[in-house]
Amino acid sequence: MYKLIYTSLRERPQLIQAAADKFHEWWGVPTEMYLACMEDCLNGATAYDWYMCLDGDRIVGGLGVIDNDFHDRPNLTPNVCAVYTDEAYRGRGIAGALLGMAVDGMRAAGISPLYLVTDHDGFYERYGWEHLCDVNGDSGVTKMYIHR
Find the helix packing angle between 31-42 and 16-27, rounded to 10°. 140
Can you name the CATH fold of 4-111? Aminopeptidase (3.40.630)
Q: Record the pTM.
A: 0.95
How high is the pLDDT of residue 139? 81
Q: Which residues of 26-44 are buried (b: 16+ CB within 10 A; e: fewer)?
A: beeeeeeebbebbeebeee
33-73 residue pLDDT tens: 999 999 999 999 999 999 999 999 999 999 999 999 999 99
pLDDT over threshold 90, residue 134: yes
Q: How far apart are CA 69 and CA 81, in angstroms?
A: 6
Domain ranges across the chain: 4-111
Q: Residue 1: which pLDDT band, with cuts at 50, 70 and 90?
A: low
pLDDT over threshold 70, residue 2: no
